[in-house]
Chain A
């Protein structure tokens, strides 16, 4: 029998929205404590320094956070993508998109292909130390002449005795300055293209492999973004990741999780922007009352919250589909598209609600807006997302 309070049925307690359950909420609390203690207090300085220290990886590893989804046999925690999802949602709370991105590049995009496509020996050499935080990984796909159009990759690996000789360059590589190894897309046939790409594990210290530039950016200041040069770099055959000329498949496989991760990050960021706008609007007084009591501001924040909820519902749907092993390309692509665009809009509204204070650095809102602006570009632009969706509709 339902109980009634004030003429409506008594409400049942709120439950976490699937796919998350109580187990994930515990992990969330523990990561949140870590972020509050180890990352957030330093975020401001790391932004200024355009760098966060490598020890962050060691500390994350000590908490077990770099291998949440990997088997215990490799030093992981034996969890799954949902645990990683919690990590991604919570990392944004450190206040620096760059720190979150630097960690994310290692956890979300660079180590998964090693786990999925690597040989046992490659996992020992690369994945195990990566989970321990001892070797930092980056993913190298984009080139000066090949962004969303990965088939245009020109970095060439010429077969030689015992391996390949690599020539070319990569750019916009997150974590590329500090990386101990780069999971690198190369052309292994003369023509390249979809059927001629392969992946090589290119290691720091290999002769001819250099970081040619550390790039300055609109946002993500604490992360290191590199331009990499390969001049006659010899890469031994045991560093081939996955099968020769099947690199395009690896890229596609990786994209799904990368895009979900981006969507999760944007959703979490929107939640924080709504919270900080609420806090500010309750506190800040103008014309005799808290500005949140003006309908224009109340409605603006409500609309921000709706965008957050819409993006969250769509992203969790994509996450559930992906996690269930189903083909989730539509859902993932939609979640990535919607969440990144909404996050930029919400960030802009948050600046507006904060007024002059929003334009100033100390509130962190302008930084969030700058950091989030990468969303509609990175991991495949909005336009590429729409091409994927349109083509899957038969258009």
Chain B
């Protein structure tokens, strides 16, 4: 046993809230926060009607927020993974789930596979302008008949000389209307196993790419969601992203980052809703006192704060593993499941505390309630998460 002197006392710092963050993260946080509060939040209501404009992505590119953890060689900031967590957290202050999601699809879903699996040429063509905000990315996994069951993908890519011909359809594609390129999951084999799939980078202006429908949704109104058709779309073989037949594994890797960033977003969204509701409970008077001074309401806040913090700590400790290079599928699934359910419970409780006002549009709580509900479905449903976790134990 070590003596007192040799015991390692980690410097967790007394001012910082968590060991994954350093001072430069705090500065980044401040700068993103200032941008979000000044340039995004004031437009949240308007963008619910119109969806957010592409200029948001360009502006974020200018500010360097789109490639926080991408290498400087490609125009990124060369930061660590925790910078992305900071971005996801601060975007919550935009009060717009749809905007947050649209940006996250660009930065944390479509971009990482291009960086990790892309050829030098693909990175020059797509990654560099995407980091600048000059080109917008989307990701095509889901199909009308294949959601959580990725192996059910039917969109086909068939080799024809130096080209591939793609046919099929994709749905629920966030950014699908505005995107310049899609990271597309296709089927290229018939072995009936996970080696049948391949990723392609397909420019959205290719002949045969049809943006069929802008889908209407329960929430996330500020984002555009597309139904896409691919009719004899021809791409050069060099458009293949990563290895042929490895598309399923590539996308499973992508989903880990997507789920973790989604989880961070859930925590931030829940915290935002909590903060606004706390203000309300201190202001709103009933039976002669602020409603927050009633024990029933006070205890609701205590419960919510506890669950939010638990979710946050799951995200942080899992992000720490992820950034260390671990492949913590179980923990990511746990964080994703817990935070999505927690955020839905919290927004529902916040709606309750707001009473009639919560049901009205102007307080923004009903919007948060609607926006949040997607998280128990998107990026893998609650049930899929439970299955992934259970199977990770050999069940």
Which A residues form the contact surface with B (CB < 8 A)? Answer: 2, 6-9, 11-15, 17-19, 21, 23, 27, 64, 68, 71-72, 77-80, 83, 278, 281-282, 292-293, 295, 297-299, 301-303, 305-306, 309-311, 313-314, 316-317, 320-321, 323-326, 330-331, 334, 337-338, 383, 385-391, 393-395
B302-A385 in contact (CB<8A): yes
Let me know if B309 and A334 touch, CB within 8 A.
yes
Q: Which residues of B contact A305 (CB under 8 A)?
A: 334, 389, 393
**Contacts A298-B395, A306-B337 given: A7-B311 contact, CB under 8 Å?**
no
Assess whether B306 is in contact with A338, with CB atoms less than 8 Å apart.
yes
A168–B246 CA distance with the chains assembled, in angstroms:
75
Contact check, A78 vs B2: say whether CB atoms are below 8 A apart.
yes
Q: How far is the CA of A314 from the CA of B303 in the complex (A)?
A: 13
**Cα separation A393 to B304 with both chains bound (whole Å):** 12
Count class of interface residues, chain B: 35 or more
Question: In the assembled complex, which residues on chain A have CB atoms less than 8 Å from the CB atom of B306?
Answer: 314, 334, 337-338, 389
Write the nearest CB–CB distance from B337 to chain A, whole angstroms. Answer: 6
Chain B residues with CB under 8 Å of A313's CB are 310, 313-314, 316-317
Alpha-carbon distance A11/B323, docked complex (angstroms)? 11
Q: Is the CB of B299 within 8 A of A11?
A: no
- Once the chains bind, are B387 and A299 in contact (CB under 8 Å)? yes
Q: Are A8 and B18 in contact (CB under 8 A)?
A: no
User: B-side interface residues toward A, CB under 8 Å?
Assistant: 1-5, 7-14, 18-19, 116, 242-243, 246-250, 252-253, 278, 281-282, 292-293, 295, 297-299, 301-303, 305-307, 309-311, 313-314, 316-317, 320-321, 324-328, 331, 334, 337-338, 383, 385-387, 389-391, 393-395
Provide a sorted-by-A list of 23 A–B residue pairs whose CB atoms are within 8 angstroms: A7-B246, A7-B248, A18-B10, A23-B8, A72-B4, A78-B3, A79-B1, A79-B4, A80-B4, A299-B387, A301-B393, A302-B386, A302-B390, A305-B334, A309-B331, A310-B314, A314-B306, A390-B295, A390-B298, A394-B278, A394-B292, A395-B278, A395-B293
B303 touches A298 (CB 8 A): no
Across the interface, which residues of B come within 8 angstroms of A311, CB to CB? 310
Beta-carbon contact of B12 and A19 below 8 Å: yes
Question: 10 other contacts beyond A313-B317, A314-B309, with CB at 8 A cut-off?
Answer: A8-B252, A9-B253, A23-B2, A72-B3, A79-B1, A79-B4, A80-B4, A295-B387, A324-B10, A386-B299
Q: A12-B326, A282-B395, A338-B307 are in contact. Are A326 and B14 (CB under 8 A)?
A: yes
Contact status B19-A320, CB under 8 Å: yes
The answer to whether B1 and A78 touch across the interface, beta carbons within 8 angstroms, is yes
Complex CA–CA separation, A395 to B277 (angstroms):
12
In the bound complex, what is the Cα–Cα distance between A9 and B324 (angstroms)? 12
Whether the pair B8, A293 counts as a contact (CB closer than 8 A) is no
